Amino acid sequence: MTSSNEALAQTASSADAASDSTEESGAARGAQGRGTPPSDTSWRSRLYRWDMKASPYAFIAPFFIIFGAFSLVPLLYTAWYSLHNVQLSSLDSQTWAGLKNYTNLFDSEFFWNALGNTFTIGVISTVPQLIVAIWLAHMLNYRLRGSIVWRVVMLTPYATSVAAATLVFVLLFSPDNGMINWALDLVGIDPVNWRESDWGSQLAVSSIVIWRWTGYNALIYLAAMQAIPADLYESAALDGANRWQQFRHVTVPMLRPTILFTVVVSTIGATQLFGEPLLFGGVSGTKGGSQHQYQTLGLYMYDQGWINGNLGKAAAIAWSMFLILLVIAAINLLITRRLRKAQ
Amino acid sequence: MRTARTSRRAMTFAVVAALATGLLAGCASDDGDDSGGAGGSGDKEGATTLTVGTFGTFGYKQAGLYDEYMKLHKNITIKENVTTRTDVYWPKTLTRLQAGSGTDDIQAIEIGNITEAVQTQANKFVDLGKEVDKSQWLDWKNKQATTKDGKLIGLGTDVGPMAICYRKDLFKKAGLPTDRTKLAEMWKGDWAKYVDVGKDYMKKAPSGTKFVDSASSVYNAALGGAKDRYYDKSGNVIWDKSEGVKKSWDASMEVATSNMSAKLKQFDKPWDQGFANAKFATVACPAWMVGYIQEKSGDAGEGKWDIAAAPTAANWGGSFIGVPTASKHQKEAIALAKWLTAPAQQAKVFAKQASFPSTPSAYSTLKPKAETLAYFSDAPLTQIFSDSAKTIPVQIFGIKDQPINTAITDTGILQVEQKGKSPEQGWDAATSEVKDVLGQ
């Protein structure tokens, strides 16, 4: 994983360097390479040169066309919406609102509540998830009987649909006759109202996230671990390092870029958390509980746009989420640079 | 190895086949639509497919109405597209109406959304006023679906006239009268009187029982008969000033703070169990809830339930069906909508589904199931419900009636009832929630 990433980065930078030099010479080099004499008067060679120049763009065009149509246009249109007063029931009559939708959000207790919930649920789902994943990957990295079976099993939760997983968890966490409360009762702990209590409901939602994504992250870690040269471990073992010490001093430092990658991906996922809390909440799921205990930003946006019909405000929430992600990406970039320098 | 390859090949084949069938099916149904649209009244036999978009259970299919209609009209095939949840159904329908495509030939509208449809989508629906004899329907039902310039965009399906379902056995133990006319007399005219009966009940309440299932149900029932709700005639939000809201809120707060409520949330599982275990003595029951009570209370409740008239005539629920102008088969769709909502058909749906008709001429013909009558101590329930239905005031609904109502019951009342907050705190919580709903 790591090595392939670096390889990609290298090819990318060499490609950049190549595009800096004049394109003419590049094309000419290509032409000479095939043994065609460079002659500007020949119609065939002109077509050939044109083909050399244009084909790559034609090959990458589908992605950019689709990206433009389904990502860029909606993104800009959402920005336009967020500056207007738009109701779901009358999409045609939009009135200019300026920044009112945004100032509205900053005054809204529900927005800050949703932001806080997104953060806490993100932390209590991402941190344990990555720690468990790295531990699992470490275990799987040893010679095991039937290792493929273990890996497939680990990926199964990821392949399950959110809806199916959440419905099962709702049953497990049911306050009256759920299995979790029953197990707590066995060890003498009072039952928890997993839907109404603040921490209880957030823990329940994060447990679904943890269950679904741990195996996925473990496999990414495993791939990176297998790229670590075995002789590092051998020499560590010769020096008398036990497994834990090997893990701390060889595996973790070598995994650093991968860990960073999974942290970024998980953070983005956590910011967009939607399906799990929605389905966990049942009939009035978009509210995230009677006191908005587990209403995430995603849920709040959906509630504003599709339940209350305030599309302008929902668009403002969407753009705020986008800006928050940009900030997270910037922080991440800073940390990466720090780490590189430290190395 | 070999098996792996064959199975992969089989898999690929299956996927391709599935995709191809999907595409073909898509094309086929398009063809059908086109030929039907061109032919109008059907120059090809069996060419017209009408789709009916509904949410929840409308009972048309269950009562066999589609089959019956298709037998009467050989050239028509009816398909029903059901979306289970209203909160998913309505936004989807709104966007399709405005896009002018993707709508069904007949589209159902819930009572909570009818004002929004009348005020913002009127030009997307066919005016049905010229197609039917409007006097068939309850006047207040028609008015809800009529625009300012007199256009009728939907035909009334069912209505939800309210009564009080109560347990005779519990009333007897609490030393209260059990006769339905006597009880109706005791609380007649005001929901506050009903709450007073509740106080009497609690003095000698059988152990483990409460007077009513939830404070929200009292709120909904009281508001369902109030003249003003959340909006005034010109469409302004008056939810925090309206007399109806205030009186209903006060009654529900009385219930929430005086220990006479079982503190259940309606339609949650524990509520169902509350019926089975006789946890509460009364519930404000619209006609459609009668079957629900019978199902959830089970055999143990047979003959112990009775029905009395509610303090004031009130309505809870009920829908409309309209024909979008985007429909390619408007003529056929209008005919079908007319037929589905005609008194005879509404009576059939009542027999099957207990959805109460919005056409008074059907009332004399209504035949409740014998088991239902026995279950509710032979109460004259059609009489009670039709009396209520005829005297329900014309209520003004607003664009965001439903979300405002949810904000008040699920946040305001619930916090007072279940978390022990004061009525003032509950009102404040509801206020900020309503502001959020209105995007303020």
DSSP H or E segment with residue B373: helix B370-375
Q: Is residue A202 part of a domain?
A: yes
Provide, as residue numbers in chain B, all residues whose Cβ is less than 8 Å from the Cβ of A97: none
For the segment B219-247, the average pLDDT, to the nearest whole number, is 93
Average pLDDT of chain B to the nearest whole number: 88
Between A and B, how many residue pairs show a Cβ–Cβ distance under 8 A?
58
pLDDT digits (tens, 9 = 90+) for B157-210: 999 999 999 999 999 999 999 999 999 999 999 999 999 999 999 999 999 999
Give residue A114's pLDDT. 96
Query: Sign of dihedral through CA atoms A90, A93, A95, A99?
Result: positive
Alpha-carbon gap: B408 to the closest alpha carbon of chain A (Å): 11
Tokens of A319: 């753009």
Nearest to B386 by CA among B367, B365, B360, B368: B360
Nearest to B256 by CA among B431, B430, B432: B430
B410 lies within 8 A of chain A by CB: yes
Average pLDDT of chain A to the nearest whole number: 85
Could you tell me which residue, A196 or B342, shows the higher pLDDT?
A: B342
Phi-psi region of B102 (alpha: psi -120 to 50; beta: other; left: phi over 0): left
Pairwise CA distance, residues B140 & A154, whole Å: 60
For the segment B5-30, the average pLDDT, to the nearest whole number, is 46
Evaluate if pTM is beyond 0.90. Answer: no
Q: Is residue A314 part of a domain?
A: yes
| B33-to-A142, B322, B375, B420 alpha-carbon distances in Å | 62, 19, 48, 58
Which residue does chain B place closest to A307, by CA atoms? B87
Tokens of B334: 């209008």
pLDDT digits (tens, 9 = 90+) for A53-73: 899 999 999 999 999 999 999
Which residue does chain B place closest to A91, by CA atoms? B98
Percent of chain A clearing pLDDT 70 (strictly above): 87
DSSP H or E segment with residue B356: strand B356-357
pLDDT digits (tens, 9 = 90+) for B349-396: 998 888 999 999 999 999 888 888 999 999 999 999 999 999 999 888
HEC secondary structure over B296-340: HHCHHHCCCEEEEECCCCCECCCEEEECECCCCCHHHHHHHHHHH
B67 lies within 8 A of chain A by CB: no
Q: Is residue A50 part of a domain?
A: no
Predicted-complex ipTM score: 0.74
Percent of chain B clearing pLDDT 70 (strictly above): 90
Percent of chain B clearing pLDDT 90 (strictly above): 76
Pairwise CA distance, residues A165 & A178, whole Å: 15
DSSP H or E segment with residue B289: helix B289-297
pLDDT digits (tens, 9 = 90+) for B79-104: 999 998 888 899 999 999 999 999 99
pLDDT digits (tens, 9 = 90+) for B415-429: 899 888 999 999 999
Pairwise CA distance, residues A295 & A289, whole Å: 7
Cα B93 from chain centre? 17
Give residue A336's pLDDT. 81
Instruction: Tell me: pLDDT of B223 over 90.
Output: yes
Give residue B396's pLDDT. 87
Nearest to A201 by CA among A272, A267, A84, A282: A282
Nearest to B209 by CA among B263, B290, B144, B147: B263
Residue A16's pLDDT band (cuts 50, 70, 90): very low
Say yes or no for a CB contact (<8 Å) between A104 and B400.
no
Contact (CB, 8 A) for B151 and B123:
no
Pairwise CA distance, residues B32 & B51, whole Å: 12
The domain that holds A181 is classified in CATH as 1.10.3720.10
B93 lies within 8 A of chain A by CB: no
Q: Is residue A338 part of a domain?
A: yes
Q: Is residue A170 part of a domain?
A: yes
The boundaries of the domain holding residue A239 are 102-342
Count up the domains in chain A and report the number: 1
Contact (CB, 8 A) for A141 and A222:
yes
Pairwise CA distance, residues B58 & B82, whole Å: 9
Give residue A20's pLDDT. 43
Selected for mutation to probe chain A from B101, B415, B433, B436 (highest A CB count within 10 Å) is: B436
Alpha-carbon gap: B410 to the closest alpha carbon of chain A (Å): 6
Q: Is residue A88 part of a domain?
A: no
Q: Is residue A200 part of a domain?
A: yes
Q: Is residue A7 part of a domain?
A: no
Of A88, A291, A313, the CB nearest to B91: A88
DSSP tag of B283: E
